[in-house]
Structure formats: structure tokens, C-alpha cells
Structure 1
Amino acid sequence: MLRNALDGLTVLDFTQIAAGPTATMLLADMGARVIKVEPREGELGRTLGPAWVGEDSALYHAFNRGKQCIGLDLKHPDSIEVIKRLVLQADVLIESMRPGVMTRLGLGYETLAALKPDLIYCSISAYGQEGPYSDRAGVDGILQADSGLMSLIGTPGSAPCKVQAPVVDVVTGYMACMAVLAKLHARQHDGLGGHLDVSLMNSALALQQSSITSYLSDGKLPTRIGSGAPYSAPNEAFQTEDGWLMVAAYNGNRWPTLCKVLNHEEWITDPRFVSSAQRVIHRAEMCAALTDVFMRKPTAHWLQVLHEADILCSKVADYSDLMKHPQLASNGMLVELNHPVHGAVRVPGFPINSVQAAQTPYAPAPQNGEHSRSVLRDFAFSEAQIAALEASQALHCSEPL
């Protein structure tokens, strides 16, 4: 099923932190053999904590399960020759260096495509491979700011906020994975590889499809409205007696039903609240009226009452609540990786379920250089060649002889 759909595919991974590692992790989740190439000191993502799993950050474990790792010094000419030999048997190469770096290393698309014309080469960068900003570095927070996303987040009058989870990085990883899968499908028909250009900037804009389209339609800058949706109401969080409750009761008969459940049927015909569009205009008055009612009872009470009335709602959960969510176990979304050094490591799993298939075990994130020797053996390097690479410091190994 999906977890072995890419069996036989080989991916070379020259990425770090989150965006690129998300893409290669998804390919590994679907059965590809992903060979992660790291410098002797390891990729930057290993150092970004707290939290920590042993000496590596939790961030590294979040985005690198199921991969093999080979340690190579890309400034060493012997390492470049190793990569060129690996490319001859690879299907996909994904890199997240600043544009131009791989070319300067001798590993640019034109060079490697000359060796293997059907290679699918995916470059992930902040702004894209061409254009006035192409040589600029960027990370998730910078692109949240530069793309306009931070201008949407926060409450009225508050400072701009970023989403703590690296959403631009992660969606960029999904975009890169989607692009690679599409190119793999095309290659089955034309036999050609190609160079894919995936950027954090474009992905950040895709996240804001509705907001940007609204601005292009009426020229009005969006304002920060907390948890509310600018196109519908009520579709936001309300304070209760003991917490917060998210309510979406803007479509169909749900608003009249909500009014009846709350014993305020007069709101149904109130000109300020008669339609979702009017409620958006009069959001402050609507929220004040609803909050006054919701704060009289605890969240659990409202969840029961609103669910019985088919009003869409949820407790605003924190992660301790999330770990008890009954649907997580059913969806298989919390998985346990058996790490050879750190033992059990829990992470979110592959997000797409195959109804017909049983859950396939996941391999943990690799230690730096854990598979250096075994990978080279698989690619027909002799023991003498491997020993010479180690002796020259081109190859870093952490696995036993």
C-alpha cells in the first residue's frame, strides 16, 4: 500500500532542519530508500533545542525517521566523486543549499544530469533558484514575515505573531514531495529527469490562498482578529467558565440552532446577526454576546450540548489534551520509534491512512554516519576504497566495522 508504494526508489538527501527533511521523510514513509548526506559535525537540525533526545534535538527526530545516513565532507574532492557514483544508481536528489552552492561543489543539476539524464533533482530554497532574492537565505520565521503571514496572526492591536510550529517549512516539504511524485509519474512516460524549483516563499503564499485572493479582490488589508475567520462568523474561540471553546456555526441552520440552544432566539432575526456576512461585520458585538453565555458553564457542558445539536465545536486543546485524543490511536498518528541508543522515541507518523493496510513499523532517525559503510558497500565500493575514504577524512562513520 502507500507505505511501500515507492519501494525500489533511491533518494539522495542533501537537506537540513525542516523543509527538505520533511520532503525526504515523506518519501521514506512511502518506501523509498533515502540516503541522508551529512557533514562530519552533523546537520544544523541536530543542534536546535531544547527539547533533546540524547545529544540530538527532538527537531531532528521529528523530520528524519526512516532514513539512512552517510557522513561525507563535501569540501573534500574524494567525497564529490563518491556522490557522483551514488547518483548513477539514484532516482532523486533533493537539496536545500542556498542557490549556487551545489554548483560550486561540483554537484549542480547540469553536472549530475550529464551523468544521469533521468535524475530528478529538486532544489528547495527560501525564494527560488532565480530572481532578485534568489541568493538570499531564509528560514521559516523570515518567510512567515516576508510573505505577509505574520500580519494575519494575533489579536486586534497586538504585535504580529508567528505560528510556533514551522508551518512554512513543513508545507514546503509537502510541496517538494508532491513535485517529486509528479515528476516520477511523468518520467514513466518520457524517461526524462529534470530540475524542480521549490521555495518557502511560494509555499507561504499557497498557505494564504484565500486571504491573498480576498485582498486582490477588494484591496482591503486583512486585520488581526485572533481565532476568527475573516469570511465567516461565528467561527472562532470563546472563553468558557474553565477554558476555551472553538465554535463554527456560520452555515446552514447552525446559527439558528445555536441561538435556540443558548436560549437567545431573538438573535436569529437581529439585523446585526441575520447572516454570516452581517455577523462578520458585527463580530465584536456577536462575540461579546456569545462569550457572556459561554462563560456561565464549563467547556465540558458546552461540548455535550453543542454536539447533541450538531453544532461544530471543539475544546481548544493543549498537547497534554491531544495525547489523550481517542482518534489519534485509531489513525495511527502517534508512532514509537525504536532507537538503538535512545530507546523508544515517539513522533507523529505518516498522515495518510491506507484503509486496506496494516500499520508498517517505522525506522528511527539515523545517527550521523550510521550507515556510511553499509551504503557504500551496497553501491559496490570495495573495503579498500571505504578504508581509504575514512583515512582521508572524506568519509565519517559511526557504525561498527
Structure 2
Amino acid sequence: LICDVATGMYAYQSVATALYARRDVGVGRWIDVSLMASGAAFMGHRSPEAMLESGPLMSPNVPAGGYQTRDGWVMVALVTEAHFVHWCTAMQRPDLPSDPRFNSFPQRAKNEAALLEIVRDTMQTETSAVWLDRLRTADVICDPVTSLRDWYADPHVQAIGAASVLDQPGLGAFHVPRTPGAMAATEAALTPAPRAGQHSGAILAEGGWSDDEIAALLGDAA
């Protein structure tokens, strides 16, 4: 699914770029966008790292990741050594950063299993709200892991209009994310998805099929 969406995004920007080129230079462009190439481009930031890596693979930025709390999940990110120190302070484990097993990103990667056991057990002792408050106070990058329903109900999401309501026949009204960056005044109207086969007749007619041929074909399909 990620490659599907990425391919659409790359195709869109390629078309826009080609249109500008035709306007400014007077020459169009041939566009060739594939799932394979789009997936690789999405991982482009990993290419230099992959060329430099040797030996067994190690997890990056240990112990960054998602953690279960008493009532949910939170995601914690680590970018610098200071983030790990601050996280340990929030967990009331100031001893961890000075432990030789955990005093650097490479060491934490080597001793990942031991560290994850400590962090997982600790994070389950409090609620998500408590951890988010402590981590943010300690200047640690974190956020709750939410469902889509929770995301749509978030005051910030509602305030910036990040989602729209679609009335889909047969399903009722439900939320869908809006295209990021699109202004309401220029965004295309949000319309329901067509029913299965809703436009089959019209499409076949455009292809030169007669009414009798279309009726026979759709009758066989039914």
C-alpha cells in the first residue's frame, strides 16, 4: 500500500513538472513511474547507510519505538544521546546512561534485548497520559499511538481541517483524510466512490460497443 500511494505521488509531481516544462521550454516529457522505482526512492535516505554498513545488522536508535503502557501505547523517538538521558530521567532510571552496556547508540544496539526488557517493564507501570507528560517535560520526542477514530477526534486535526466527511451511499457518513497542503478553495470536490460496475455501460459505449453488445455483456457478467 505504501508503494501504491508513493507511486501516485511521484506520478503527480512528475506530471506537474512536465506541464511546467512544456509551458516554459515548449517540450513535453515522457513519464515512466513504477511501483519498484517509487519504493526504492522512498528508501533513498538509507542508500548511503547501506553502502557503508558491514557486519550483522543492528537496530537503529535503540530503544526508540512503540511501548505499551497501563492503558495504551506511546511512541518514543531518539535522535541524540541527550534524548536517551532525558528519557531515563523521566523513567526515574538515571543509572542507565552510565551503564557500559547502554552508554551509546552502538552499545545499546549490541545489548538491545536487555535494554528493551527494562524499558518495556518500566513503561507498563504508568498510563499513557502520565508518560507523555513526563517525556514532554523532559524534552523527549513522543506521541500517543492512536486509532483513526482517535485521530479524527483530535482537536488539532479538527482545527486545521485535516479530515473531511464523505457521505458514501450504502455506508453512511465517515471521515477521510484530506490531501496535505491542498487549500479548500482549490481542492477537488470530495465525491463518493462509484458502485461496482456503475459506469461500465458508459465506458463500453465510449469504446464503440453498441447498446445490444453492452446489454449482452453486462447481462452475462450479472
Normalised by the size of structure 2, how large is the TM-score?
0.78
User: Given the alignment of the two structures, is residue 171 of structure 1 paired with residue 12 of structure 2, yes or no?
Assistant: no
Listed one character per residue, the Cα deviations across residues 131-168 of structure 1 (whole Å, up to 9, x for unaligned) are: xxxxxxxxxxxxxxxxxxxxxxxxxxxxxxxxxxx111
Aligned partners of 1:361, 1:189: CA distance in 2, in Å? 26
Asked whether the equivalents of residues 233 and 279 of structure 1 are also in contact (C-alpha less than 8 Å), the reply is: yes
Structure number with the bigger relative contact order (C-alpha 8 A, sep ≥ 6) is 1
- Name the structure 2 match of 1:253: 82
Distance 1:193 1:237, change over 3 A: same
Aligned partners of 2:31, 2:123: CA distance in 1, in Å? 50
Distance 1:296 1:191, change over 3 A: same
- Name the structure 1 match of 2:49: 214
Aligned partners of 2:33, 2:187: CA distance in 1, in Å? 30
Q: Aligned-pair distance for 1:196?
A: 0.8
User: Given the alignment of the two structures, is residue 276 of structure 1 paired with residue 105 of structure 2, yes or no?
Assistant: yes
Give the aligned length: 211
* Counterparts of residues 89-128 of structure 1 (less than 5 Å): none
Bigger fraction of residues in strand:
1
Asked whether the equivalents of residues 249 and 258 of structure 1 are also in contact (C-alpha less than 8 Å), the reply is: no
- Name the structure 2 match of 1:364: 191
Q: Secondary structure at the match of 1:198?
A: coil
Q: Secondary structure at the match of 2:143?
A: strand
Distance 1:183 1:366, change over 3 A: same
Distance 1:243 1:281, change over 3 A: same
Distance 1:237 1:273, change over 3 A: same
Aligned partners of 1:177, 1:211: CA distance in 2, in Å? 24
Q: Aligned-pair distance for 1:276?
A: 2.4
Asked whether the equivalents of residues 135 and 141 of structure 2 are also in contact (C-alpha less than 8 Å), the reply is: yes
User: Given the alignment of the two structures, is residue 315 of structure 1 paired with residue 144 of structure 2, yes or no?
Assistant: yes
Q: Aligned-pair distance for 1:202?
A: 0.7
- Name the structure 1 match of 2:175: 346
Bigger fraction of residues in helix:
2
Aligned partners of 2:73, 2:186: CA distance in 1, in Å? 34
Identity of aligned residues (%): 27
- Name the structure 2 match of 1:55: none
- Name the structure 2 match of 1:199: 34
Distance 1:184 1:220, change over 3 A: farther
- Letter in structure 2 aligned against 1:259: C
